[in-house]
Amino acid sequence: MMANHKLPVSPSDDKRWKLVDATMRRHGYKSHALIETLHTVQECFGYLDDVALRFVSGSLHVPPSRAYGVVTFYHFFTMKPPGEHTCVVCMGTACYIKGAKAVVDGLQSHLGVHAGETTPDKKVSFLTARCLGSCGLAPAVVFDGVMSGNVTAEKAVERIERWKQ
């Protein structure tokens, strides 16, 4: 079967493509490696762009529409480059009951963008999550990968202001 398989040619000599290729190779370039490979691309590049998508779908023999359908089905995948910093507000039940909505509203009006968007200056990506499993700390917010508990709108805004300096 592998005889027919042309080894994929990386879109550029960016070294990160080697990592992407390694994931595909580990799964024998089988089509079921699609999601795993997309994870690697997003880990390496921060998001999935057209070039990456064409490369992955071509290498794994996944029809383009199927690859695109998969990327857009899973909310973890993003096709927009993330901002310099990210702020994820947990909107799980426990956080909601304890006032996460006020945090979201506060950040929304402070940043001037809705959840799921990045500020025009590309400084901050503002996201919500459906539950981060840190319900004991509700409401929880993740600032650049670091979890903070018992966050209020004021605290969140103050934290974000520090990025701007």
Partner 1 sequence: MTPEELQEQAEKRRAEQKDTPHQIRVCVAAGCISTQSDQVKEALVKGLSPELQKTCQVNGVGCMGLCKEGPLVSVDDTLYKAVSAADAPELINSLSQTPVQRLLCDSKAPFFSRQKKIVLENSGKINPEVIEDYIAADGYVALHKALAEMTPLQVNEQVTISGLRGRGGAGFPTGLKWSTVAKGAAGQKYVICNADEGDPGAFMDRSVLESDPHRVLEGMAIAGYAVGANQGYIYIRAEYPLAIQRLKLAIRQAERLELLGKNIFGTTFSFHVELRIGAGAFVCGEETALIASIEGKRGTPRPRPPFPAESGLWGRPTLINNVETFANIAPILRNGGSWFAGIGTEKSKGTKVFALAGKITNTGLIEIPMGITLREIIFDIGGGIPDGRKFKAVQTGGPSGGCIPEQYLDMPIDYESLAKAGSIMGSGGMIVMDDTSCMVDVAKFFMEFCMTESCGKCVPCRVGTVQLHGLLCRITDGTATMDDLSQLEELCDMVRSTSLCGLGQTAPNPVVSTLRYFKEEYLAHIQEKRCLAGVCKITVPHAAGVSR
Partner 2 sequence: MSPLSTLTPRVKTLKINGLDVSASEGEKILDVARQNGIQIPTLCQLDGLTSVGACRLCLVEVKGTPKLLPACVTSVEEGMEVTTTSERLVKYRQMILELLFSERNHICSVCVSNGHCDLQGMAQAHGMTHVRFPYLYPQQGVDASHRRYVMDHNRCILCARCVRVCDEIEGAHTWDIQGRGGDAFVITDFNQPWGESQTCTSCGKCVQVCPTGALSEKGKSVAEMTKKREFVPYLTLMREEL
Q: Counting Cβ atoms within 10 Å, is residue 44 exposed (0-12), middle (13-18) or buried (19+)? A: middle
Q: Which is nearer to partner 1, 30 or 164 (CB)?
A: 30
Is 109 a binding residue for partner 1 by CB under 8 A? The answer is no
For the bound state, the minimum distance from the C-beta of residue 115 to partner 2, rounded and expressed in Å, comes to 15
The residue length of the chain stands at 165
Closest residue by Cα to residue 103 from 41, 149, 156: 156
Q: Using the rule CB under 8 A, which residue among 68, 77, 96, 163 binds partner 2? A: 68
Q: Which of residues 1-60 bind partner 2 (CB under 8 A)?
A: 50, 53-54
DSSP annotation of 46 reads S
Token duo for residue 69: 């359908």
Is 69 a binding residue for partner 2 by CB under 8 A? The answer is yes
Q: In 46-152, where does DSSP find H-type helix?
A: 50-59, 64-73, 93-97, 100-111
Q: Which span sits near partner 2 by CB under 8 A: 67-75, 92-100, 106-114, 146-154?
A: 67-75
96 binds, among partner 2, partner 1, none (CB under 5 to 8 A by kind): partner 1
Phi, psi of 5 (to 5 degrees): -90, 115
Contact residues for partner 1, defined by CB under 8 A: 31-36, 38-39, 62, 66, 69-70, 73-77, 91-94, 96-98, 129-138, 140, 146-149
